[in-house]
Chain A
Amino acid sequence: MRLNKSDNIPVNYEKMKDRELVHLFRKKDDQLAFQELMNRHQAKIYSYIYSMIQNRETANDIFQETFTKVITKMDDTYNEQGKWIAWVMRIAHNATIDHIRKQKRFVDVKSSYDEGSKTDFYDRLPDEDSPGQQEKLELDESTSSLLKHIANLPEEQRTVVMLRHYYEMPFKEIAEITDVSINTALGRMRYALINLRKMFDEEHEKESKYL
């Protein structure tokens, strides 16, 4: 749903920068400015959350939770000097990671760190909300297949892939959001691509067997 179609957002709002829209919403309670901000970013934010969680209901909840925090905390914690979307993505990322960690919290096994993939046991565990176990969105085949593979990546690699892909976020910003160094962020992206390559190859092998 694009709000500007149903709510008739003036054209000049579409030309404004995020910062100007945020200012209008904060200082003048301009609802149209907020709707325009949502129009611009809602799909990317939702895609990021959904790709991390792989469950529609939970993604809906986390999306709403994210925007509730955005609305209520914008006056107190958002500094207009910074990028608004980076601030929102940090909130979305934290809410998503909180959810994923809650799901894994009750697993009573010893963590083992694997130097090869730079992941521990928890990262290699599939999420409870993994595709196939829960209801999935109706997506095009390519997106659905890619998301399935991305869902099997360790959490931190998945995060870097999604932030980079959906937001074209510089690795410096990804490093800031995920509280790691830029080299770690680059390393995670590299391992993510290597792991995805393996998954694509395995899938290809399976398909060739059935043919």
Chain B
Amino acid sequence: MSKIEDRCIAYIYNEMDPAERLEFERELQKDEDLLIELETLRRTAGCLNGLRCIEPPEFVVNSVKNKAESTTIKKTDAGSYRYLFASAAITLFAVMVYGAVIIQDQQRPGSADSNSTGNSEASLSTAGNISSVAAGTAGEMEEISPWVDHDEVIHFHERFNRGSVASVDSMFNHSLKKLTRVNSSRTVQQVQQQIHLTGGNR
């Protein structure tokens, strides 16, 4: 509850609810000093009714109006730029997604491009080069260029990475198993006339 004198203000400016107002009027009847103060305050407050509103100068109003207009134009410009940026971002994103799908498709092991190399684990090319694919690693193809010394021994152990030794060994062993004994010496002689191949893996 505010001081009784402050409540005079609420009474003068009609900011009391009916019950509060009634109670305050009872107090006014009992307290003559309070009534005098109330009337003095009311008279002074009445003097303020002589105050008139002051219009702002025209140039100030125009300046504010122009400011409001220019702000609206800026907002509109910003909106159109935002639309442009959004369109560009969407286009760029679509291109990136499409590119990623194409690249992924090309790298897939079962795809048509990789089939030709993926199926051939090792082969002796006509030029004498061995193309091998590291076991279990699709697409990782290493080309080995062996050489033949004066004793007609083929060397290839120094011609590939140390990491792929195991795969070459397995390839070599696999090929070794396929070798069959030659019973006819004539055939051997015939072969020797053409080429004498021995494997070397030191």
B8 engages A190 (CB within 8 Å): yes
Could you tell me which residues of chain B, from 64 to 112, have a CB within 8 Å of some CB in chain A?
A: 64-65, 67-69, 71-72, 75-76
A111 interfacial contact with B, CB 8 Å: no
19 further A-B contacts with Cβ under 8 Å, apart from A139-B54, A143-B52, are A1-B56, A31-B68, A31-B69, A43-B55, A46-B54, A46-B55, A51-B54, A56-B57, A59-B56, A67-B67, A67-B68, A142-B52, A146-B48, A171-B10, A171-B13, A183-B2, A186-B7, A190-B6, A196-B47
B64 engages A186 (CB within 8 Å): no
Q: Tell me the interface secondary structure of chain A in the complex.
A: helix
Interface range for A: 35 or more
Which of B50, B56, B67 has the most CB atoms of chain A within a 10 A radius of its CB?
Answer: B56
A46 to B61, CA, bound (A): 10
A52 to B56, CA, bound (A): 14
A177 interfacial contact with B, CB 8 Å: no
B15 interfacial contact with A, CB 8 Å: yes
- Which residues of chain A have C-beta atoms less than 8 A from B40's C-beta? 197
Would you give 16 A-B contacts (Cβ < 8 Å), ordered by A? A1-B61, A31-B65, A31-B72, A42-B61, A43-B54, A51-B51, A139-B54, A146-B50, A164-B13, A165-B48, A182-B2, A183-B6, A186-B9, A193-B9, A193-B44, A197-B40
A72 engages B60 (CB within 8 Å): no
A107 vs chain B, min Cβ distance (A):
28
B30 interfacial contact with A, CB 8 Å: no
Q: Which 4 A-B pairs have the closest CB atoms?
A: A46-B56, A43-B53, A142-B50, A183-B2
- Which residues of chain B have C-beta atoms less than 8 A from A35's C-beta? 65
A50 engages B54 (CB within 8 Å): yes
Contact of B68 among A59, A71, A183, A197 (CB under 8 A): A71
Contacts from A to B (Cβ < 8 Å): 1, 3, 25, 29, 31, 34-35, 38, 42-44, 46-47, 50-51, 56, 59-60, 63-64, 67-68, 71-72, 137, 139-140, 142-143, 146-147, 161, 164-166, 170-171, 182-183, 186-187, 189-190, 193-194, 196-197, 200
Number of interface residues of B (CB under 8 A): 38
B53 engages A186 (CB within 8 Å): no
- Which residues of chain B have C-beta atoms less than 8 A from A34's C-beta? 65, 68
Contact of A166 among B5, B53, B60 (CB under 8 A): B53
- Which residues of chain B have C-beta atoms less than 8 A from A183's C-beta? 2-3, 6
A190 engages B9 (CB within 8 Å): yes
B53 engages A47 (CB within 8 Å): yes
B119 interfacial contact with A, CB 8 Å: no
A43 engages B56 (CB within 8 Å): yes
A187 to B76, CA, bound (A): 48
B2 engages A146 (CB within 8 Å): no
B80 vs chain A, min Cβ distance (A):
13
B47 engages A63 (CB within 8 Å): no
Interface string of B3-39 (1 = CB under 8 A from A): 1011111100101000000000000000000000000
B41 interfacial contact with A, CB 8 Å: yes
A176 to B76, CA, bound (A): 35
Which of A67, A142, A165, A196 has the most CB atoms of chain B within a 10 A radius of its CB?
Answer: A67
